Amino acid sequence: MKTEIVSIKTRRENSSYDITIGSGLYRSCGKWAAECGVNKNDRVAIISNRTIISLYVEAVTAGFRAAGFKTSTFLIPDGEKYKNLSTLQKILDFLGKERISRTDVVVALGGGVVGDIAGFAASIHLRGIRFLQMPTTLLSMIDSSVGGKTGVNSVYGKNLIGSFYQPAGVLIDTDSLKTLPKRELAAGFCEAVKQGALSGQKLLDLTAEVLDGSPQMTQFLAAQVAFKAKVVQADERESTGRMDKLSRKILNFGHTFAHALEKATDYKYLKHGEAVGYGILFAAALSKKLELISQNEVDLLDDVVRRAGRLPSLSGIDPARVIDSFKYDKKVVHDSLQWVLLKGIGKPIIVPNNQIPHSEIVKLTKEFTAK
């Protein structure tokens, strides 16, 4: 089966890297690590969790051993609530105790939680050691492993503590999606629909085809990764002042309503990607209300989001709590919330909240929470 490689260029020297995508790649992960510049004598510290390691320990350790690497593994508890400073401290203790040195490498084997926290640990252990990503969820493959954002949650909110830190390489084995729970897969597909809507008809169509059972998974992942890479390369650090089509902020499409939904339900009811699914529908409906897109485009997005999977019902969620939650959005700039809306498929625009009638947002929120 064909392997695809997407090269990511970053502005800092020596921090460009490849994302390698294909089927059955874990068994040759040692060879891949060597290609990423890791030497035989360098030690490999794998950070993962029990769920993932129990599925992939055999293939991954065989892959590293075959290339002559010595590995040590540290498992963090499974779940978003463990993406915090206390778990980070434990990872740093492990790296210290194992005497992981400046020439050694941290490998994140897991979803976005493992990738974010392991990447952050790698960025501060000895002021930064090499880091490789082996993302195992759809969301982490197309989103969190591309772009160099690492970090943990704080008591004040999600991802508030972290760094920009690029990996030395990313390995995506499409086979790992076969064990992913259905809801996690659907959540990842909602993020894929988001990127399709932002990128244009071609990526949206490819996403819809894969959802319909087309076997082009490697090609689909490569196209998704290439899109995210294009945006983050243009605006590596998400400059607050940028408002153009390639501002990193556009990746927030669907996320304003999603974050408010997640906050209003105490982050317990919806998977993040599921909330993004609703967020896409909300942003599309709002774009239509402002006469930016047609009903046909709203229907098209609605159709692809529905194909991603069944979203949990929002009925019973208090719309007032959702509306109140908008003001806590992390992406608020100078006290003003910024919405990412569409002028068409592939045509995002950033609209400040004060240019949108509040009554429309209230009306739509009520409509959505009545469903």
Q: 188 with 305: CB under 8 angstroms?
A: no
Q: Which residue has the tokens 């009925």?
A: 315
Q: How far is the CB of 159 from ligand NAD (least distance, A)?
A: 5
- Note whether 123 binds ligand NAD by CB under 6 A: no
Please give the structure tokens belonging to residue 128.
Answer: 């930064």
For residue 72, give the nearest of 95, 39, 40, 89 by alpha carbon. Answer: 95
The residue from 41, 179, 201, 239 that contacts ligand NAD (CB under 6 A) is 179
- Note whether 137 binds ligand NAD by CB under 6 A: yes
3-state secondary structure of 71: strand
Q: How far is the CB of 66 from ligand NAD (least distance, A)?
A: 21
Residues 292-331 that bind ligand NAD (CB under 6 A): none
310 burial (CB, 10 Å; 0-12 / 13-18 / 19+) is exposed
Packing angle, helices 272-289 and 358-369, rounded to 10 = 130
| Cβ proximity to ligand NAD, 116 vs 329, nearer residue | 116
Q: How far is the CB of 185 from ligand NAD (least distance, A)?
A: 9
| Cβ proximity to ligand NAD, 123 vs 140, nearer residue | 140
- Note whether 184 binds ligand NAD by CB under 6 A: yes
| Cβ proximity to ligand NAD, 255 vs 288, nearer residue | 255
Scanning 7-15, 135-143, 195-203, 310-318 for contacts with ligand NAD by CB under 6 A, the matching segment is: 135-143
| Cβ proximity to ligand NAD, 22 vs 111, nearer residue | 111
Residues 41-60 that bind ligand NAD (CB under 6 A): 49, 51-52, 55
Q: How far is the CB of 190 from ligand NAD (least distance, A)?
A: 11
| Cβ proximity to ligand NAD, 81 vs 327, nearer residue | 81
- Note whether 336 binds ligand NAD by CB under 6 A: no
Size of the site for ligand NAD (CB under 6 A): 27
| Cβ proximity to ligand NAD, 114 vs 280, nearer residue | 114
- Note whether 80 binds ligand NAD by CB under 6 A: yes
**What distance separates the 2 farthest-apart alpha carbons in the chain?**
63
| Cβ proximity to ligand NAD, 179 vs 295, nearer residue | 179
* C-beta atoms surrounding 89 within 10 Å: 11
- Note whether 252 binds ligand NAD by CB under 6 A: no
For residue 104, give the nearest of 76, 69, 148, 139 by alpha carbon. Answer: 69
**How many angstroms separate the CA atoms of 230 and 146, rounded?**
10
The residue from 10, 159, 163, 233 that contacts ligand NAD (CB under 6 A) is 159
| Cβ proximity to ligand NAD, 42 vs 184, nearer residue | 184
Q: Which residue is nearest to ligand NAD (CB)?
A: 112
Bridge pairing between strands 71-76 and 105-110: unpaired
Torsion (CA) 278, 284, 287, 292 in degrees, nearest 10? 170
Please give the structure tokens belonging to residue 138.
Answer: 């759809």
Q: Which residue has the tokens 């243009």?
A: 234
Bridge partners, residue 76, by sequence: 49
Read off the DSSP letter of residue 326.
G
DSSP-H helix ranges across the chain? 29-35, 50-66, 85-97, 112-124, 138-139, 182-199, 201-211, 217-234, 255-264, 272-289, 295-308, 319-325, 358-369
| Cβ proximity to ligand NAD, 139 vs 198, nearer residue | 139
- Note whether 139 binds ligand NAD by CB under 6 A: yes
Q: How far is the CB of 196 from ligand NAD (least distance, A)?
A: 16
Binding mask 99-118 for ligand NAD (x = CB under 6 A): -----------xxxxx-x--
**How many angstroms separate the CA atoms of 119 and 149, rounded?**
8
Binding region for ligand NAD (CB under 6 A): 49, 51-52, 55, 78, 80, 83, 110-114, 116, 136-137, 139-140, 143-144, 147, 149, 158-159, 176, 179-180, 184
